[in-house]
Amino acid sequence: MEQITKEFTEKATAYLAEAENIIIVAHKNPDGDALGSGLALYHILKNKNKKVTFIVPNQLPTYLNWMPGIEDVIVYENQKELGIEYIQKAQLIFMVDFNHRSRLSEMGDKIIPLNVPKIMIDHHPYPEEIADLTYSRTSSSSTAEMIYEFTDAIYGKSAINKKAADCMFLGIMTDTGSFSYNSSSQLTFQVVGHLLSLGVNKDEITDKVYSNYSEYRLRLLGHAINTKLTVLPEYGAAHINLTQKELEEFKFEPGDTEGFVNYPLSIKEVEFTAIFIEKDNYTKCSFRSKGSFPANLVAKEHFSGGGHTNAAGGENKDTLANTIAKFESILPQYKKYLNQ
Ligand code: 5GP
Ligand code: MN
């Protein structure tokens, strides 16, 4: 469904009328849009006197620790018993900014089988049918923009309070790289215009997001680009990798490597980039691309992942070295997608 229909609004309104205990869930390694959309909905529903809890599978990024309501978010990995308690009490579940059960990790085993209404709001392609109601708009800048539309459809624009507006703005801003991509529609700017009129301070939020890192994070970026970047012009590709030892050396905090994968795209002949990050028993992969090069296809076909055409991710249950070797070996298959 590319637009909220009357039928969707009626069903969602009926579900909301029946539910007092509501949970919102977002994807693992939550980013600005996952937290922005989940927390915006949290603030809206709380204002409507619902008992609402926002649960994410794992760690929150340190650079977003100032978001309104972030202290109320339950991190399932750290507070499993409490999380399960809320999940079992839930009469309605919102799933935001993801569309695949795998994105919930093991928390999905508790959520997916639950026999309560589920509403999915998300902008990623190829949604899995795991909700009773799905609002999926792949052309949307962000899930946060869709939460704005959802709120407007259900309660009217007057229901958007300042905290929700801040969270919506944060989600839209981070998912569009500060309005550099996925943000050419008039609607995005109409929504942002309205959010600004509600008192959102754009400069303050920009500052909190982009000027809130440690010195170590900047040095880690310098290290990654200066010594860990490989460019493969023949395939229009580049990759960066970081070992656990390097992350420790630079006092890594969750979220520190966010955005690193974009930098090699500034090289003229590079259309496809990857970053590989060593974890305990797997390698986390992030991909970015220019134009029509399908980063999500590579993620889906080789790295148990998915995402958008130009921003995708996944993982490989193998060492860092083997993951890099695999990536380089599959590049010839994708040469046909290069734009230049
Ligand atoms: P990031 O590289 O910022 O972690 O993720 C970029 C995009 O890739 C996300 O918005 C999401 O669409 C997708 N993505 C990242 N990791 C995964 C994953 O493990 N599985 C799937 N299906 N998509 C992912
Ligand atoms: Mn998103």
How far does the centroid of ligand 2 lie from the alpha carbon of residue 142, in Å? Answer: 5
Helix 162-175 × helix 202-210 angle, to 10°: 50
Predicted confidence at residue 256, as pLDDT, reads 95
Q: Where are the beta strands (DSSP E) in the chain?
A: 21-25, 51-56, 74-75, 92-96, 118-122, 133-136, 229-232, 237-242, 272-278, 283-289, 306-307, 311-316
How far does the centroid of ligand 2 lie from the alpha carbon of residue 99, in Å? Answer: 11
Looking at all shown ligands, the one closest to residue 313's CA atom is 1
Predicted confidence at residue 329, as pLDDT, reads 98
Nearest protein CA to atom 16 of ligand 1, as residue: 313
Site of tokens 């006092």: 251
Nearest protein CA to atom 24 of ligand 1, as residue: 313
Predicted confidence at residue 340, as pLDDT, reads 78
Please state, in angstroms and as integers, the Cα–Cα distance from residue 304 to each residue in 109, 201, 283, 297, following that order.
18, 39, 11, 10
Divide the 340 residues of the chain into consecutive groups of 10 and give the mean pLDDT of each group.
92 98 98 98 98 98 96 98 98 98 97 98 96 97 98 98 98 96 95 98 97 95 98 98 98 95 97 98 97 97 96 97 98 94
Predicted confidence at residue 204, as pLDDT, reads 98
Predicted confidence at residue 67, as pLDDT, reads 98
Predicted confidence at residue 91, as pLDDT, reads 98
Predicted confidence at residue 140, as pLDDT, reads 97
Predicted confidence at residue 2, as pLDDT, reads 81
Please tell me if the domain spanning 6-210 has the same topology as the one spanning 215-337.
no
Please state, in angstroms and as integers, the Cα–Cα distance from residue 241 to each residue in 30, 166, 268, 306, following that order.
21, 34, 21, 19
List the 306-307 sheet strands across, edge first: 229-232, 237-242, 272-278, 283-289, 311-316, 306-307
Q: Is residue 282 classed exposed, middle or buried when 0-12, 13-18 and 19+ CB atoms within 10 A define those classes?
A: middle
Q: Which fold has domain 215-337?
A: Diaminopimelate Epimerase; Chain A, domain 1 (3.10.310)
Q: Where are the domains of the chain?
A: 6-210, 215-337
Q: Within 10 Å of residue 96's Cβ, how many Cβ atoms?
A: 31
CATH for the 6-210 domain, from 3.90.1640.10, 3.90.1280.20, 3.40.190.10, 3.40.50.360: 3.90.1640.10
- Ligand 1: lining residues by beta carbon, under 6 Å: 31, 100, 103, 124, 286, 305-308, 311-315
How far does the centroid of ligand 1 lie from the alpha carbon of residue 243, in Å? Answer: 20
* Ion ligand 2 — residues with CB < 5 Å: 33, 97, 143, 175
